[in-house]
Chains A and B, each alone.
Chain A
Amino acid sequence: MTSQATASQALAIAVQARQPVLLWGGPGTGKSAVIRSLGASLDLPVVTVIASLREPADFAGLPVVGADGSIRLAEPSWTRELLASGGGILFLDEITTAPPAVQAALLRVVLERVVGDICLPPEVSVVAAANPPDIAAGGWDLSPPLANRFCHLDWPVDTDRFLEALTSGWPTARLGQLENGSASDTAIKVKSALGGFLRSRPMLLYQMPEDVTSASRGWPSPRSWDMAATLWSTADALGHGDDVVLQLIAGCVGPGAARELLTWTRDADLPDPESVLADPSSFRLPERGDRQFAVLGALAAAVAANPTKERWEVAFQVVEQAVARGSADVAAVAARSLARCMPPGVDALPQAVGSLAPVMDRAGLLRRRRG
C-alpha cells in the first residue's frame, strides 16, 4: 500500500535527482497542488503545460520559414521562463489524454529536455501527471517508450492528509541537503549492488511487458535501471527509509523487479556462510527468526556442498548458539538438514541435538523417523 506521504517523499527525491517522474491519480486528488507546493519549498518556478491541449509542435518546436527559406524549429513560449531562470520544474499535466503524436513529441523533452532546436537547462526537472486511462474518458495508454522514461508514482487519496492540508496547507516533503561527496559514495555502493544483482538475474535487465496495461507503467530496461540507480543513491544519501526506496525503484522498473532487487540485497547483507565456518566465534546470530532461518539455511547448504567432519561440527556450534538464544525451532530445522549430510568419520550426533530432542519429539519429527 502506498501512502501519500511516501509518494510525496519519493516525488521530492525524484525532483532533486532531476529524474522525470509521473504521478498517477484520479482527477482532483491534489497532484497539481503538491507539485506547486514542492516548487515553492525548493524555491523553483513551476511551469505548467497541459499536454492534452497542446499540439506536437508545442514540444517538438514550430517549423518556421526563415527569410532565406530555411526552416527552423521555434521554441514555444512556455520555455521562456525556464530558460530565463535557468532551472525549475516543468509540469506536464494530463499526458495520457494527449494524442499519440503529442506523446511522441514529448519523448525528447522528457528525457533530454530538448524542445525544438533548443535545450532546456540541465537544472530543469520534469514532472508529469496523468489520470489512469480507465478513469479518463477517451484516454490513451502511455506508449511504452514514453512510459519507460518516467519513474511512475501512484498518488492515492488520503483522508487524513487532506484534513491536515485544509487547516495548515499541503505538508511539504522532508527535504534534505545533499552533502558533498555523500551522493557519490552511495552511488558507488548502489551501482555495485545493482551490478551484482543483474549479473545473477540477467533476464531482468530488459523485460518489456506483453500486455499494454503493464507496458504503460514502469518496466525493466537498461535506461530504467539506470534511473532507478540514480534515485536509489539519492534517497540513500538523503537518508530515506526502505519504503521510499522501494517506491522509487518500483516506479522505474515495476514492482516485481524492485522487490526482487531488494530481497537480493537483503540476502547479500547476511554473513557469508564460508566466513562463518572459518571463524564461528565472531559470528552473531541475527535478531529476527526469518533472518536466523536464512543464515542457518545458507550454512547448512554450504556444509552439504562440502561435508567434512570439521565444517559439520562448526555448523553445529552455530546451531547451539541458536538454541541458547531461545530459537529452538529454527535450530531444529537447520539440525535436520545437517543430520542429512553427516560426513564420514562422524559416529554420533553432537551435543546440541540432545537439547533439541524435546522440541523435535513434541513436533512429531522424532516419532516419524523411528516409525
Chain B
Amino acid sequence: MQVGDQFAAARLWATSQAPYLATALFAMSFNPAPGLGTAGVDRHWRLYIDPAAADRWSVEELGSVLIHEVNHLIRAHADRAETLGVGPAEKTRFNVAADCEINDDLRDLQLPPGGVDPERFGFEPGGIAETYYILLESARSPMTAQCGSGAHGVRQPWERADLDDQAVEPVEAELIRQQLAAGIREAVQHGGHVPAGLERWARAFLQPAVDWRRELRAQIRAGINTVSGGVDYSYRRPSRRNGTPVGRAVILPALVQPLPTVAVVVDTSGSMSAAALERALAEIKGLLQSTSAVHTRLAVLACDTMIRTTQAVFSAAQVRLAGGGGTDMRVGLDAAFELRPRPDLVVVATDGFTPWPEQRPAGVVVVALIGEGPEPPRWARFVRVPVAADGAD
C-alpha cells in the first residue's frame, strides 16, 4: 500500500472528524521520512511520516496523529518555545508539555497508544504548554517525544529545508490561524462541537486576553488622573520661574499635584471567592502605594447588605468574608461618597451579583469584577479578575 494513499485517506478522515481544521490540515505538505519511527512537523508546516509507522497505524490512528500535529502548528508551539528560550537540551520537555496541552482535547479520537496526557504526570488537564513545561522540570519519569521543530522550535536532522516550494511562511501561517479561529468561532456559535482547548485558543487568538493586573492598574491610574489631573501643568497658579528674566517675557505654567482621595469598597458576601479577592486587593493596595498616588488618602469599607467596617488602614487580612447573605453595592457606594473628605475615586471589589445605583455617582468608580458575574452599569469602568490562578495568561 502506498504511504501517500494512506495519508490522503487519513487526512480525509481527519477533516470529517474536525471540519473546522480542514484548511490547516490541507496546508500541511506531506513528505515520507523513512526511519523516523513516527510523524513530525517542522516550522514551515511540512509534515514527515515514516512509511513503516503509517503501515502500523490504522487510517483512524494516522488521521488522529495528523490532527495532533496540526495542533502544534495552529497553537504556534515553535514560537512559544522560542519565547521560553527552549534549546536542544529542553526540546523534549517542551515537546511533552505541548503534547499534554493538545492531547487532553483529543480524547474522542484514536491516537496510537503511547501518547502522553496531563494525567500521566499527575497534572490537571486543560492547562497550557508553558505551565506543564515548568511542572515537568521536576518530573522523574523519562520523557520521549519526537514531533519536530513545529512542536519545539529546534531544527531536527530529518527536516528538509530544501523543499522551499512547500514552505508555509510565518505570515501565511498567521492568516491560516485567523481563518481557523474565525471558523471555530462560527462553528461554536452554530452549536458545533469543538474541543474546549481549541475553542479557548480561538477566542484568545481573535481577542487576546488582557492582563487584568495591567488593566486594573491602568484604570485606577486613569481614574486618579481624571479626578485631579494627577501631576500636571497648570496656568491656574503662577510658575515659580516667573520672577526670572525668562519669566518676565513668557507666561510659564506651574507644576501642580492635587491629592486625590480614594476609597475602596470590598464586597464581603458569601458568594465571593476568597483567593481571588485576596489577589485583587493585593493588586489594588500595591498600586495605590507605588504609583503617583503616594500621598493618597485612603479609606476601606467592607460591605455586604450593610457596611461592616470602615478603616483607614488597608490589609487583606482585615477583610473577613461573612458567610451567606446578599450584597448591596448601593449601600457601599452611598457610604463611600458620604465619607469626608469625599473620595474622588472609588475602587469596588465585587463578584457583580449586586444591585447598583441607577444614577451615576458623584465620582469615578472602577470595579474589579471577580469571576464571571454580570457587568456593572456603563458609568463604571470595570476589569475582570479571573478566579482561576492561571487565568491571567
A138-B303 Cα distance, complex, nearest whole Å: 31
A289-B66 Cα distance, complex, nearest whole Å: 14
Question: Does A133 lie within 8 Å of B252, measured CB to CB?
Answer: no
A370 at interface, CB cutoff 8 A: no
Closest to B233 in A: A101
Interfacial chain B residues near A326, Cβ < 8 Å: 4
A211-B215 Cα distance, complex, nearest whole Å: 7
Question: Does A100 lie within 8 Å of B230, measured CB to CB?
Answer: yes
Question: Does A364 lie within 8 Å of B250, measured CB to CB?
Answer: no
Is the contact region of chain B dominated by helix, strand, or loop, or is it mixed? helix
A63-B249 Cα distance, complex, nearest whole Å: 9
A55-B251 Cα distance, complex, nearest whole Å: 13
A179 at interface, CB cutoff 8 A: no
Closest to B76 in A: A1
Which residues of chain B in 22-79 are interfacial with respect to chain A, using CB atoms and an 8 Å cutoff?
Answer: 22-29, 59-60, 63, 79
Interfacial chain A residues near B338, Cβ < 8 Å: none
B176 at interface, CB cutoff 8 A: yes
A216-B182 Cα distance, complex, nearest whole Å: 25
Interfacial chain B residues near A99, Cβ < 8 Å: 230-233
Contact with B along A303-340 (1 / 0, CB 8 A): 00000000000000000000000111110110000000
B172 at interface, CB cutoff 8 A: yes
Question: Does A65 lie within 8 Å of B219, measured CB to CB?
Answer: no
A326-B9 Cα distance, complex, nearest whole Å: 12
Q: Which of A65, A246, A363 has its CB near the most chain B CB atoms (within 10 A)?
A: A363
Interfacial chain A residues near B177, Cβ < 8 Å: 259
Find A362's partner among B59, B165, B383 (CB 8 Å cutoff): B59
Interfacial chain B residues near A133, Cβ < 8 Å: 214, 217-218
Q: A242-B171, A262-B171, A262-B175 are in contact. Are A62 and B28 (CB under 8 A)?
A: no
A85 at interface, CB cutoff 8 A: no
A255-B29 Cα distance, complex, nearest whole Å: 27
Question: Does A294 lie within 8 Å of B23, measured CB to CB?
Answer: yes
Which residues of chain B in 286-303 are interfacial with respect to chain A, using CB atoms and an 8 Å cutoff?
Answer: 291-292
In the complex, number of A-B residue pairs with CB atoms less than 8 Å apart: 147
Interfacial chain A residues near B10, Cβ < 8 Å: 363
A360-B177 Cα distance, complex, nearest whole Å: 27
Contact with A along B178-203 (1 / 0, CB 8 A): 11001000000000000000000000
Interfacial chain B residues near A333, Cβ < 8 Å: 12, 15, 22
Q: A99-B232, A134-B214, A243-B170 are in contact. Are A289 and B26 (CB under 8 A)?
A: yes
Interfacial chain B residues near A57, Cβ < 8 Å: 252-253
B393 at interface, CB cutoff 8 A: no
Question: Does B9 lie within 8 Å of A263, measured CB to CB?
Answer: no
State how many angstroms separate the Cβ of B65 from the closest Cβ of chain A. Answer: 14
State how many angstroms separate the Cβ of A10 from the closest Cβ of chain B. Answer: 13
Question: Does B214 lie within 8 Å of A140, measured CB to CB?
Answer: no
Interfacial chain B residues near A62, Cβ < 8 Å: 250-252
Interfacial chain A residues near B179, Cβ < 8 Å: 263
Question: Does B211 lie within 8 Å of A359, measured CB to CB?
Answer: no
Contact with B along A193-212 (1 / 0, CB 8 A): 00000000000000000011
Q: How many B residues have CB within 8 A of the partner chain?
A: 65
Question: Does B221 lie within 8 Å of A288, measured CB to CB?
Answer: no
B318 at interface, CB cutoff 8 A: no
State how many angstroms separate the Cβ of B214 from the closest Cβ of chain A. Answer: 5
Question: Does A259 lie within 8 Å of B26, measured CB to CB?
Answer: no
Closest to B179 in A: A263
State how many angstroms separate the Cβ of B362 from the closest Cβ of chain A. Answer: 22
B206 at interface, CB cutoff 8 A: yes
A214 at interface, CB cutoff 8 A: yes
Question: Does A74 lie within 8 Å of B250, measured CB to CB?
Answer: yes
Interfacial chain A residues near B18, Cβ < 8 Å: none
B174 at interface, CB cutoff 8 A: yes
Contact with B along A221-246 (1 / 0, CB 8 A): 00000000000000000000111001
Q: Which of B165, B233, B292 has its CB near the most chain A CB atoms (within 10 A)?
A: B233
State how many angstroms separate the Cβ of B194 from the closest Cβ of chain A. Answer: 19
Closest to B26 in A: A289
Closest to A66 in B: B249
A216-B22 Cα distance, complex, nearest whole Å: 36
B314 at interface, CB cutoff 8 A: no
Closest to B80 in A: A1
Question: Does B232 lie within 8 Å of A100, measured CB to CB?
Answer: yes
Question: Does B178 lie within 8 Å of A141, measured CB to CB?
Answer: no
A65-B83 Cα distance, complex, nearest whole Å: 56
A256-B29 Cα distance, complex, nearest whole Å: 27
B273 at interface, CB cutoff 8 A: no
A212-B175 Cα distance, complex, nearest whole Å: 26
The 6 tightest CB contacts between A and B, nearest first, are A289-B26, A290-B27, A362-B9, A212-B218, A363-B12, A259-B178
List A residues at the B interface (Cβ < 8 Å).
1, 55-57, 62-65, 71, 74, 99-102, 133-134, 138, 140-141, 211-214, 216, 241-243, 246, 255-256, 259-260, 262-263, 266, 287-290, 292-294, 326-330, 332-333, 358-360, 362-365
Q: Can you identify 13 A-B contacts, CB atoms within 8 angstroms?
A: A56-B253, A100-B232, A101-B233, A212-B218, A213-B210, A243-B170, A256-B206, A259-B174, A288-B166, A327-B8, A362-B59, A363-B10, A364-B16
| Additional pairs, 8, CB under 8 Å, beyond known A56-B233, A141-B222 | A100-B225, A211-B215, A255-B208, A287-B165, A333-B22, A363-B10, A364-B59, A365-B13
